[in-house]
Chain A
Amino acid sequence: MGATDPVDAVLWVLVGLPALAGAALLLGGRRAERAAAPAATAVAVALAVPAAVAAVHRPAVTAPALPGIPFGLAVDGLAAIGVCTLVAVFAAVVVFSAGEREGAGGRSRYYGLLLLFAAAMLATVTATDLFTLLMAWEVMGATSYGLIAFHWRHPRTGSSAAVSFLTTRTADLGMYAAAGAALAGGARGLDLGELAGVSGPWDHVVAGGLLAAALGKAAQLPFSFWLSRAMDGPSPVSALLHSATMVAAGGYLLLRVEPALAATGWAGPAAAWIGASTALVMGAVACVQHDLKQLLAASTSAQLGFVVLAAGVGGVAGGAAQFAAHAAAKSLLFLVAGLWLARLGTKHLAELRGAARGHPLAGTCFTAGALALGGMPPLSLWAAKDLVLAAAEPPGLHAAGLAASALAAGYAGVALAAVWSSPAPAASVRTAGGAGPGDARHAFAERLPLIALATAAVVTGALALPAVGHAWSLLLGRPGAPAPGLGEAAVSALIAVVVLAAVMLIGIRRGVPAEAAERRGVRPLRAWLGLEPAAGALVVAPVLAAARGLAAFDDRVVDRAVTGAASGVPRLAGVVGRRVEPAVEAVVAAVATGARGLGDYARRPQTGQAHQYYAQAVTALLVAALVFVLAGAVM
């Protein structure tokens, strides 16, 4: 380790370049407004060079940080996948944002935060110890806050950003605890590679803490609701942070620390089952959304459930494939959703009817992404999901995974049906009256990222080829990773095709059901199972009540006790003044009177007559002699 090899410095460039560029834009403020988009684009494109070098060369660097805990970055197979995925999606999102003129009114803030986020995400995927990881991890959360609240004048975005940040930070407490437990359990320098060997009982704290942090970031149950609120941010931000990368970092973390999960015996299965449940439940939630971004967000939770499942069963190769494939497909879908939101002024599925017909290029790319998302063979997520499920040995888990795949085909079908069905009369009016459809208006800067991401979402399906799958496992250092059999691949393919076709057929014929006409059971699903109100009632409300109670206690009891004790002093002084003082004075007066009386007596013998003095002297001598005699007798 260290800087023995000059090529290692490429890692500092990889993380430092976007960090410095982002900081410069943020500090530049209004002066950097015009330069922001070109500068960010240049950095995003330039990052490809250090990313490629890092992926090939596998550098590692450390710098001293805390006593006994270094700041360390390194690239291994998994990190190479993470770096390349982030750099690719980041470039696509930045180029698209520049083309869409996103970030109006605060470009330096928009691109500055995006660049800072990229740096933090790159540090997250390359971190070698818990200190570095936690730093990068929380900076990602803060940039997410800033980007969700980008349109800060809107009354809702601020609270959405806060809900997102605070929910994920709640889960992050687990990572703080894991760091402490790792130190206590003897992991040198909090190194991630040593977490599996942490001594008991700290190993349980490490695994549990990291699991909690990852579940929060990956919007798994029960934390999923924050992702719904995160959708109040700009669409390219949703494409980058809240689907492809930051949220996915939760799954990525579990892949990274999979040995530590497995070592406890319980954390692996727990992760697997939580991932599978999230894939199922959030899949169902996604199927009934009326808002395209909400549908995509719920599907993000569901798809990342497969990554979490993979980490839980030790299927790192499958999980990494799912991570990368989902990033390409989902960021593409969000970008198109953002495009339509800008062009058509809506993200409501009912109003998006026929959107794909009006924008053939965007529609085609959207279709490619949605088909991949639905697990259509031979596209990327079909191959990735089969890799994941091949590692999921317990039959119940496997069946849950297959059911979740069916739901994925379902929500993909819902979205496709909406955008390909014939436009409703109202919607066509809106389209005609808007900026006007037509690909001719799409700038090159918008087309290129869409086409590139669509291509990636399609060709990653090559993982299903045994040779490619084997090479992928080798890249991840897991040569013996289980590969899906032909039968399994056929079953999952069949499920996807049948469900997707059925949903699309029904959907195109019926259109999006009106809210009034829906069945009763659907409403809680559409409201994300009421998870946010539940968190509000179970966590936020009691904490706020405790805060108010304690504040009142502080004012009325603690403070009053002090002021009471303090005001006791003057009262005591009053008592002393009124009671004690006169008494003391009386005693003094009595002593004085007594002394005067004694003085009177003392004056009596002074008669001035000599014979009386002699008599007194004799008496005194006799008394003295008596005392002597008595004292001598006693002694």
Chain B
Amino acid sequence: MLSVVVFLPLLAAGVLLAAPRLSARAVLTTWTAAAAVDLVLVGVLWSGYVDSGGKGTAGTRLAGPTAYETDLEWIPSLGSGYHIGVDGLSLPLVAMTAVLFLACAVYSLRDRPERPRGYAAVFLALQTVSTGLFVALDLLLFFVFFDLSIALMYFVIAGWGHGDPARSALRFFLYTFVGSLALLVGFIGLYLAADPHTFDMVDLAAQNPLGGRAAAGGAVLLAVGLGLAVKTPIVPFHTWLPPAHTDAPAVGSAILAGVLLKMGAYGFIRIALPILPEAWRAWAPAIALIGAVSVLYGALVALAQNDFKRMVAYTSVNHMGYVVLGLGAAGTAAAGTAPAAAELAITGAAVQLVSHGLLTGALFLLAGVLYTRGGGYDMGAYSGLAGPAPRFAAVLAVAVFGSLGLPGLSGFIAEFQVFTGGLGLAPVPTALALPGILITAALLLRALQRLLLGPRVLPPGTGFGDLRPQESAAIVPLLALSVVIGLLPRTLLDVLAPAAEAVAALVLR
């Protein structure tokens, strides 16, 4: 069942490439249909997981109960298998991925990309890769999906980008690929340390292969952390992000920020915390501090931007900083305890992954709307858009307030938990990061004010039509889900919180 969810999009991509002479419309409709079916299947998975009381099939393992598990031999000589399954941590991310890819498919119905067949195929393949990464329970499998996501996103930016896409795409590819090599080194280190040698995450977490070996544990954590830090991204490994975003097509940016960045942060929760608990705890104060620096640095640099898309890209650095801060703070708790604060901080970090996916996805699609109307992202070129485009204004306002952490939307649920859990555990980094929500508010409100309010100004020779139905249908559900999480956090936390609790228990064992 889970494998169907993972590979259905790839199958659809194959059909699209094989079928002769499809019209652009048929290609895009097929893409949307495949993404929709995949989302329905994920919904079935979700309800099955919740109905079983989250008991799954295999008891408590990596992050709470695992369900829909498949464990087949793949490369037995390396101790690596096709081991997939969902638990409370991966299920929300799988669902968010399915939602975001469907939103992108719907958005493209209106956006009409060139060479639609390749476009749809690349995105469908990317969906398989992303979903596969989140359900992988084997390090080698995880790594393969990790690298494939980089390669596919390279094609998206290089093939359908604007500005200087070839350069940005190459830069993105090389930077994140080098990061992935560090990740591979770390994984091999884990493999060698394990006895018997294995790449299986569940076995590795149970073994705690580097327990009691501080130097080796630190070195492996450094390698794994470096690889994930580039992808997350964490300051100072973030400079590939702004050009990649600015030059990518809107849908590519939404996926890049919404799904691909999550792979890095997800790797920390999935791999670094449970498999390297002692090394994580040893370095947790420094990690929390790095998170706080990312928060402030991302916010401040975003404040200085005039390019809307570049600004949103830097707020991603800020938002991912809260994740690192929360995970670092959780690691500072004393071993052998699992205080409520640590669980809260990890829960907050995990919620932030889902929340940021939804909100940033919406913001980048809105940036795409801006680009299709006015041909640029320079905020100085627009003013008073609330007049000609009231729906655009309303949707952008909701996305902006969600992104700045307004209660009632998902971002607040994430950030409140990170701060509340983190302050007692890591007071200095958390207090340092606190002004981040103020600076983010300032820069996002300033953007809102420049774009929407005041007298009407448009780039010469352009008109600004309001959101089209397809655009609304793509963006509004993302915000609606954010509101659902913001107002009824239990819908998400009933699944996520037990997983966070299990991760806290593993890292503090």
Seen from chain A, the residues whose Cβ lies within 8 Å of a Cβ on chain B are: 26, 29-30, 64-69, 131, 134-136, 138-139, 142, 145-146, 149, 152-155, 157-159, 162, 165-166, 169-170, 173, 176-177, 179-181, 183-185, 190, 202, 205, 543-544, 546-548, 550-551, 554, 558-559, 562, 566
- Given A66-B493, A68-B344, also A152-B424 (CB < 8 A): no
CA distance A134 to B489 in the complex (A): 15
Report if B94 contacts A (CB, 8 A).
no
Report if B97 contacts A (CB, 8 A).
no
The CB with the most chain B CB atoms within 10 A, among A134, A142, A544, is that of A142
Interface window among B20-28, B56-64, B99-107, B410-418: B410-418
Report if B174 contacts A (CB, 8 A).
yes
- Given A67-B347, A166-B445, also A138-B407 (CB < 8 A): yes
Chain B nearest CB from A178 CB (Å) reads 9
- Given A66-B413, A183-B340, A562-B175, also A547-B424 (CB < 8 A): no
Contact B501–A162 (Cβ < 8 Å): no
Contact B449–A558 (Cβ < 8 Å): no
Q: Which residue of B lies closest to A201 (CB)?
A: B427
- Given A152-B454, A153-B387, A202-B424, also A66-B301 (CB < 8 A): no
Contact A558–B236 (Cβ < 8 Å): yes
- Given A134-B416, A159-B449, A550-B300, also A64-B424 (CB < 8 A): no
Interface residues of B in 292-307 (CB under 8 A from A): 297, 300-301, 303-305
* Residues of A with C-beta under 8 A to B344: 66-69, 183
Main secondary structure of the interface of B (DSSP, over half): helix
CA distance A496 to B493 in the complex (A): 57
- Given A67-B501, A547-B300, A550-B301, also A177-B438 (CB < 8 A): no
Can you list 30 A-B contacts with CB-CB less than 8 angstroms, sorted by A residue number? A26-B394, A64-B490, A66-B344, A67-B340, A67-B497, A67-B501, A138-B406, A138-B412, A142-B401, A157-B453, A158-B453, A158-B454, A162-B442, A166-B442, A169-B438, A169-B441, A173-B435, A173-B438, A177-B419, A177-B423, A177-B434, A179-B423, A180-B421, A180-B423, A180-B430, A183-B340, A202-B424, A543-B442, A544-B304, A547-B300
Contact B239–A562 (Cβ < 8 Å): yes
Report if B201 contacts A (CB, 8 A).
no
Contact A67–B493 (Cβ < 8 Å): yes
CA distance A64 to B488 in the complex (A): 9
Q: A157-B453, A166-B441, A550-B304 are in contact. List 13 more A-B contacts (CB 8 A).
A: A66-B413, A67-B500, A68-B343, A138-B407, A142-B401, A158-B454, A176-B416, A183-B340, A183-B420, A184-B424, A551-B300, A562-B240, A566-B175
Q: Which residue of B lies closest to A188 (CB)?
A: B340
Interface residues of B in 162-179 (CB under 8 A from A): 171, 174-175
* Residues of B with C-beta under 8 A to A67: 340, 343-344, 347, 493, 497, 500-501
* Residues of A with C-beta under 8 A to B500: 67
Which of B300, B412, B413, B420 sits near A546, CB closer than 8 Å?
B300
* Residues of A with C-beta under 8 A to B304: 544, 547-548, 550-551
Report if B452 contacts A (CB, 8 A).
yes
Q: Which residue of B lies closest to A185 (CB)?
A: B424
- Given A66-B493, A166-B441, A550-B300, also A152-B347 (CB < 8 A): no
- Residue-wise, chain B 389-433 has the 8 Å CB interface mask toward A (1 for contact) of 011001001000100001110001100110111111100001100
- Residue-wise, chain B 173-198 has the 8 Å CB interface mask toward A (1 for contact) of 01100000000000000000000000
Which of B386, B390, B419, B493 sits near A176, CB closer than 8 Å?
B419
Question: Number of B residues contacting the other chain (C-beta, 8 Å)?
Answer: 62
- Residue-wise, chain B 337-353 has the 8 Å CB interface mask toward A (1 for contact) of 00011011001000000
CA distance A139 to B422 in the complex (A): 23
- Given A179-B419, A180-B422, A180-B423, also A558-B341 (CB < 8 A): no
Q: Which residue of B lies closest to A180 (CB)?
A: B423
CA distance A148 to B221 in the complex (A): 50
* Residues of B with C-beta under 8 A to A554: 239, 297, 301
Contact A183–B390 (Cβ < 8 Å): no
Q: Which residue of A lies closest to B483 (CB)?
A: A23
CA distance A30 to B390 in the complex (A): 10
Q: Which residue of A lies closest to B240 (CB)?
A: A562
- Given A138-B406, A551-B301, also A152-B453 (CB < 8 A): yes
Contact A142–B406 (Cβ < 8 Å): yes
- Given A67-B340, A162-B449, also A184-B423 (CB < 8 A): yes
* Residues of A with C-beta under 8 A to B175: 562, 566
- Residue-wise, chain B 295-339 has the 8 Å CB interface mask toward A (1 for contact) of 001001101110000000000000000000000000000000000
Report if B455 contacts A (CB, 8 A).
yes
CA distance A184 to B421 in the complex (A): 8
* Residues of B with C-beta under 8 A to A158: 449, 453-454
**5 shortest A-B CB distances, which residue pairs?**
A184-B424, A180-B423, A551-B304, A135-B407, A158-B453
Chain B nearest CB from A321 CB (Å) reads 30
Q: Which residue of B lies closest to A561 (CB)?
A: B236
Chain B nearest CB from A594 CB (Å) reads 39
Report if B439 contacts A (CB, 8 A).
yes
- Given A68-B344, A180-B421, also A139-B489 (CB < 8 A): no
Chain B nearest CB from A2 CB (Å) reads 15
Chain B nearest CB from A66 CB (Å) reads 6
Q: Which residue of A lies closest to B500 (CB)?
A: A67
Q: Which residue of A lies closest to B415 (CB)?
A: A176
* Residues of A with C-beta under 8 A to B239: 554, 558-559, 562
* Residues of A with C-beta under 8 A to B384: 153
Q: Which residue of A lies closest to B424 (CB)?
A: A184
Report if B137 contacts A (CB, 8 A).
no
CA distance A176 to B240 in the complex (A): 33
Report if B373 contacts A (CB, 8 A).
no
* Residues of A with C-beta under 8 A to B407: 134-136, 138-139
CA distance A157 to B412 in the complex (A): 26
Contact B303–A543 (Cβ < 8 Å): yes
* Residues of B with C-beta under 8 A to A183: 340-341, 344, 420-421, 423-424
Report if B437 contacts A (CB, 8 A).
yes
* Residues of B with C-beta under 8 A to A180: 419-424, 430
Chain A nearest CB from B403 CB (Å) reads 13
CA distance A562 to B172 in the complex (A): 12
Contact A179–B236 (Cβ < 8 Å): no
Report if B446 contacts A (CB, 8 A).
yes
CA distance A67 to B344 in the complex (A): 7
Contact B493–A550 (Cβ < 8 Å): no
Contact A179–B441 (Cβ < 8 Å): no
- Given A180-B420, A180-B421, also A173-B406 (CB < 8 A): no
Chain A nearest CB from B239 CB (Å) reads 4
CA distance A202 to B424 in the complex (A): 9
Contact A155–B423 (Cβ < 8 Å): no
CA distance A185 to B421 in the complex (A): 12
Chain A nearest CB from B449 CB (Å) reads 4
CA distance A142 to B412 in the complex (A): 13
* Residues of B with C-beta under 8 A to A135: 407-408, 412
- Residue-wise, chain B 475-489 has the 8 Å CB interface mask toward A (1 for contact) of 000000000000001
Q: Which residue of A lies closest to B446 (CB)?
A: A162
CA distance A173 to B416 in the complex (A): 11
- Given A177-B423, A551-B305, A559-B239, also A139-B408 (CB < 8 A): yes
Chain B nearest CB from A607 CB (Å) reads 56
Contact A65–B386 (Cβ < 8 Å): no
Contact B300–A66 (Cβ < 8 Å): no
CA distance A243 to B178 in the complex (A): 58
Chain B nearest CB from A568 CB (Å) reads 13
- Residue-wise, chain B 451-486 has the 8 Å CB interface mask toward A (1 for contact) of 011110000000000000000000000000000000
- Given A139-B406, A181-B423, also A155-B455 (CB < 8 A): yes
Chain B nearest CB from A101 CB (Å) reads 21
Chain B nearest CB from A559 CB (Å) reads 4
Chain A nearest CB from B180 CB (Å) reads 16
Q: Which residue of B lies closest to A170 (CB)?
A: B438
CA distance A161 to B383 in the complex (A): 17
